Amino acid sequence: MRPLLLQGHERAITQIKYNRDGDLLFTCSKDKLPTVWHSQTGERLGTYGPDNGHNGAVWSIDVSWDSKKVVTGSGDASWRLWDCETGRMIRATTTPTSVRSVSFSYSGHLFLYATDAQGKTSSAAVIVKDTRDPSHMQGDACVLSLETFQNEKDKSVNKVSSAVWGPFDESIICGHNNGGLSLIELRQNDFTITNENAHSATIMDIQKSKDDIMFVTASKDTKAKLFDSTTLEELKTYKADRPVNSAAISPIKQHILLGGGQEAMQVTTTDIRQGKFEARFFHMVFEEEFGRVKGHFGPINSVAFHPDGNSFSTGGEDGYVRVHTLDDTYFDFDLTF
C-alpha cells in the first residue's frame, strides 16, 4: 500500500508521536512549527504557533493521554504548553539552554523536560513540573530538578539526550550523550540505577513497550537495544550498520522498528542509496532483521507505531513524514520457530 506523505514541514522532522487513540499524529521539526495531523487521512489539522510560537528548532513534542494538552521543547531555550484542540498557547517558560526532550507522565498532570548543558555555567538538567500548580507554571518551582549527571570517573557532565517516564510514573529514565542510561526514582531521592555501558555513543531515542515493562533505545553507535525498564538490564541488541536515531516496539507483535541512516553531512547526493535511509523491522527476540521500508531521501529521525499496531510513521531529515499502513503480507509473515 502506498504510504501517506505528510507535506507541510519545511525542515527536518525531529520527532513524531501518536496520541493514545491514534487518531492524531503530532510532529515537530526544525522549522519552529509543531503540527498535528489526522493520522488516517493525512489532513493537516493545525499548528502550534506561529502565534506565541517557538523561535527555534523544536526538538521534542508530547501529548497528554487525554489528548488535551501538548508540550513542546525547543532550541530557542523554552518549553511551551498548548491547548491541543485550539492550538492556543497556555504557558511558555524560558530555560537556560535548549530543551532536548519533553514527556508527559501517564497521569497527564506532570511533565518532564531535559535541558542541554552549556559549558560550565549551566549543567544538564531534568526537571519535572506539575501543570496544576500555578507556581510551577510561572516560576522556577517544580516537583523535581535533577541537575548533575556526572561521570563517575572524570566528573564530566553527561548531557541528557533523551528522557521518558519510568513505570507507574515512579521514575525517570534518561539516555545520555555518552551512551549511558540512568533511572532515577522520584520518591526515594538519590536512588539511581545506572548502566554506563548501555551504548557507546549518544542515545537518540527511548520508547517504552505498551506495558512499560521494557524499553528500546536508539543510538548513534549503530545499535538499538532492549532493556528491562526497572533494572536497566540489557535484554536484546539490534544491529543496524548505520547510526540509529529512533526505535519503537510494536504494540501487538514481537517486532522492533528502527529508523536512522548516515548523518546528513556525510551523505552526498550520489550516495543516497548508500545512506540506507530505510525503516527496518527486527524480530524482538531473535534480533534478526526481516524487512525494510524505503522512501526517505535522508536519515530517518523518528519512528512511531500506531497504538493499534496496524500502521507506523516515520519522520525524516528530508522534512517528510510518511505514514505506512501495514498490509497482509506483514501480518501473514513471521519468523517461524
Partner 1 sequence: VDDITDEDLLADILKDKPSEDAGMESVIIIDNIPIAPAEKLDKLKSVVRKLIITHVKIQPDEIVNEIFPVEENGSNKGFAFFEFKDGSIAERTKAVLDGFRFDKQHTLTIDFFTDFEKYVSQSDEWEEPVRRVFKDPGNLRWWLEKEDSYDQYLVICGGNSGTEMAAVFENSPVEPLLLEQRQHWTDRLAMWSPLGTYLATFHQKGVALWVGKEFKQFTKFTQNDVVTAGFSPKERYILTVRNKPEHLPVDDQSMILWDVVTSTKLRSFPWDRRETPPADTVKWSADEKFYALLAKETINVYEAENVISNKTFHEIKEVADFSWSPSQSHLAFWVREQGENVPARLSLVGFPDKADLRTKQLFHVLDCQFVWQKAGEYMAVKVNRYKSAKKRKLGGIDYTGHYFNLEIFNLTNAKKEVPVESIEIKDAIIDLAWEPNGSILVLLTAADAVTSVSFYSGRLGKQFELVKKLPLRHKVERIAWSPMGQFVTLYTTSGSVGYLTFIDTADLTIMADLEHFLLSEVHWDPTGRYLTAVTKGNNKKDNGYTIYSFQGRYVRNEKVDGLSVFAWRPRPPTLLSAEKQKEIRRNLKKYAPEFDAKDKMLLNKASREVSERRKRQMEAFMERLERTRRAFDLRKAY
Residues that bind partner 1 (CB under 8 A): 167-168, 211-214, 228, 230-231, 235-236, 241, 270-271, 273-274, 284-286, 335-337
User: Shortest approach of partner 1 to residue 249 CB, angstroms?
Assistant: 12
User: Shortest approach of partner 1 to residue 286 CB, angstroms?
Assistant: 5
Q: 27, 35 in Cβ contact below 8 A?
A: yes
Residue that has been written with the C-alpha cell 506483514 in this structure: 330
User: Shortest approach of partner 1 to residue 291 CB, angstroms?
Assistant: 17
Q: 263, 243 in Cβ contact below 8 A?
A: yes
User: Shortest approach of partner 1 to residue 211 CB, angstroms?
Assistant: 8
Of the candidates 63, 72, 37, the residue with the CA atom closest to the CA atom of residue 322: 37
Residue that has been written with the C-alpha cell 510513521 in this structure: 313
Measure CA 211 to chain center: 17
> How far lies 55's CA from each of 131, 160, 259, 279, in Å?
23, 22, 27, 30
Write out the three cell numbers for 67: 489528548
> How far lies 142's CA from each of 90, 121, 328, in Å?
17, 20, 48
User: Shortest approach of partner 1 to residue 239 CB, angstroms?
Assistant: 9
Residue 242 DSSP code: S
